Amino acid sequence: MFTGLVQTIGIIEHRDRDQLVIHCPDLVAKIAIGDSVAVNGVCLTATHISDTNFTADVSPETLGRTNFGDRKLKYVNLETALAVGDKIGGHFVSGHIDGMGKLSDRALVGNSWELSFEAISEVARYIVFKGSIAINGISLTVSYCNESGTNFRVAVIPHTYDNTTLKDLDVGSYVHLEGDLLGKYVEKFLKLGSHSALAQKNVNSITPEFLVEHGW
C-alpha cells in the first residue's frame, strides 16, 4: 500500500520483456529485496539491488496494461511501501492501476498548473469532483470532471509539478490512473444489493439507517 506521495524520480536504465532496471541512488538504501515499490503508480517487487539501482520483474500482464514498454518513457515516479505508523499525506493507493489516461490540456494558472486528462470508462466510474485520483502514482484531487468522469482536471502546485514527472508530459502523453480504493468497495456493495446482507434484512436499497447499523 502507498500514499501517492512521490519520494524521488528514477531513470529507466534498461528494460526488456521481463525486467526493468531503475536508477535511483537516493532511494536504494531504503529498499530491500522483496520490497514493493510504486513505479509510476504500479506496484513492482524489487528482485535485485545495487548501489545505484534496483531491478523489478515485469509480467506480460503488467506490460500489457502499462506504458512500461514505451521506449520514450525514461523518467518514473518512485515511492516505497507505506509502513505501519507512517503519515498518510495523500490517500490510500494500492499500486494496481485501473487503466490508462491521456493528457489533453495544460494551462498555467497563477503559479500553479491545471492539467486536463481523458480517462477510459473503466477508470472514469471512480472519478468524482473533489475526489482522489492517482496519476502516475501521484495523489491528486479532482478539481473538475464531467458527469461520466471521462474528462477531468487536477490543479497541481509548483512543488508537485517540479518534483514529479508531470512536468515531462506532453499533450497526448499516456499516464497510469488508479481510482480511489474506497469507491471500488462502495461500488461492489451497491452491486451486491439484495443478494447479501440486504436480503437478510429484507431491505431493497442502501439507506442511511442501514449504513449506520453496519458501522459506516
Global pTM reads 0.86
Please check whether residue 130 lies inside any domain of the structure: yes
Task: Please tell me whether residues 156 and 123 are part of one structural domain.
Answer: yes
Mean pLDDT along residues 96-121: 96
**Alpha-carbon torsion 10, 12, 13, 19, what sign?**
positive
Task: Please tell me whether residues 110 and 147 are part of one structural domain.
Answer: yes
pLDDT at 178 over 90: yes
Task: Please tell me whether residues 112 and 176 are part of one structural domain.
Answer: yes
Question: What is the structure's pLDDT at 193?
Answer: 67
Please check whether residue 47 lies inside any domain of the structure: no
Please check whether residue 111 lies inside any domain of the structure: yes
pLDDT digits (tens, 9 = 90+) for 50-66: 999 999 999 988 988 99
pLDDT at 165 over 90: yes
Task: Please tell me whether residues 123 and 186 are part of one structural domain.
Answer: no
Please check whether residue 213 lies inside any domain of the structure: yes
Mean pLDDT along residues 85-101: 90
What's the total number of domains in the chain?
2
pLDDT digits (tens, 9 = 90+) for 36-54: 999 999 999 999 999 999 9
Task: Please tell me whether residues 186 and 170 are part of one structural domain.
Answer: no
Close Cβ partners of 173 (under 8 Å, ≥ 6 residues apart): 102, 103
Confidence of residue 194 (pLDDT cuts 50, 70, 90): low
Domain CATH code at residue 139: 2.40.30.20
Please check whether residue 68 lies inside any domain of the structure: no
Task: Please tell me whether residues 175 and 133 are part of one structural domain.
Answer: yes
In the numeric block, the cell 439484495 is attached to: 194
Task: Please tell me whether residues 164 and 203 are part of one structural domain.
Answer: no
Domain span at residue 147 reads: 106-180
| Alpha carbon distance 118, 124 (integer Å) | 9
Q: Which of 127, 125, 119 is nearest to 102 (CA)?
A: 119
Confidence of residue 177 (pLDDT cuts 50, 70, 90): very high
pLDDT at 153 over 90: yes
**Higher-confidence position of 188 and 2:** 2
pLDDT at 20 over 60: yes
